[in-house]
Amino acid sequence: MILIVDSGSTKCDWKAVDSKGNQLLEKIRTKGLNPAILSEKKIRKVLRKSEPLNNHREEVTHVYFYGAGCGTENPKLVLKLVLNEFFPNAEVKVEEDTMAAVFATINNPQEAAVVCIMGTGSNCSYYDGKKLHQRVKSLGYTLMDDASGNYYGKELIRDYYFNHMPEDIKIAFGDKYNLDADYIKYNLYKQPNPNAYLAQFAEFMILNKDSEYIRELIKRGFRRFANNMIMQFKEELKTVPVHFAGSISFFCQDEIKQVAEEMGFTVGNFERRPIEGLVSFHTDAT
């Protein structure tokens, strides 16, 4: 049994297949396993809570894990250690989530492209057809993650409190969420995964794209992301497309294409959930 795993900070999708790519179990979902945020103890707890994973842990021969927080060596090693313990008969490989986005969005294994992730968090890399190149190390949601779910959640809350929202949007936003100041601060400073807490507010943005305020909010955030991340690769952008993975980019395609036209780069493919492309990639390689 091969496990293909695509993990963000919010949720983690597991797909069990055989060597030919045939699905063996219903798709499994757990909480996100971001080793830059969760301790070893919490990662183990998430794994133990999944009945399907526990029931089949000894049948697993390979685990291909792609996840947020796996771009630096120490968190990556911690997660690999825990997965090796939990799946005692498996060969475990852990890669950053950007590689999942690459394999899911490129049109062929040798295609060069700039590949962006815009989900709970955000990132951008250049894949030359063989290797991944990053020119800015991610410092996480507090300092970076422009145009991500947690970025837009923070912007919505700020605009609500600074009275920058149109009145109808402000009323709708206040009706949908508990925006009591003490409740917000409790979730941000006293609870785990504040980035995931912020990202939940992005749903409101997606559902209210008929508002000019919302459309401009999306484009403002994406311009910031493009300037800081995509435009690192100015030379490469002359000859390669920019592909996108993640729910924020998937639902904001129109706004992304408008900004891309403004800034002069070519938009390629959009993939909401990379896991399907990963199955093809790894079953072909097994």
Each residue of 173-217: pLDDT tens digit? Answer: 999 999 999 999 999 999 988 998 999 999 999 999 999 999 999
Q: Beta strand pairing status for 242-245 and 267-271?
A: parallel
Report the alpha-carbon distance of residue 79 to residue 92 in Å, rounded.
Answer: 10
Report the alpha-carbon distance of residue 35 to residue 72 in Å, rounded.
Answer: 10
Report the alpha-carbon distance of residue 47 to residue 86 in Å, rounded.
Answer: 8
Report the alpha-carbon distance of residue 226 to residue 100 in Å, rounded.
Answer: 20
pLDDT in tens, 162-179: 999 999 999 999 999 999
pLDDT in tens, 80-128: 999 999 999 999 999 988 888 898 899 888 999 999 999 988 999 999 9
Q: Closest Cα partner for 67 from 85, 46, 88?
A: 46
> Mean pLDDT over all residues of the chain?
93
How much of the chain, in percent, has pLDDT values that exceed 90?
A: 78
Torsion of CA 66, 274, 103, 261, to 10 degrees: -120
Report the alpha-carbon distance of residue 79 to residue 96 in Å, rounded.
Answer: 11
Q: What is the pLDDT of residue 71?
A: 82
Q: Beta strand pairing status for 113-118 and 122-127?
A: antiparallel
188 token code pair: 């941000």
Partners of 271 in beta bridges: 245
Task: Tell me the domains of the chain and their CATH numbers.
Answer: 2-97+274-285 (3.30.420.40)
Q: What is the pLDDT of residue 285?
A: 45
Contact 198, 154 (CB under 8 A): yes
Q: What is the pLDDT of residue 139?
A: 85
Q: Closest Cα partner for 178 from 168, 188, 165?
A: 188
Model's pTM, two decimal places?
Answer: 0.79
Q: How confident is the model at residue 284 (pLDDT cuts 50, 70, 90)?
A: low
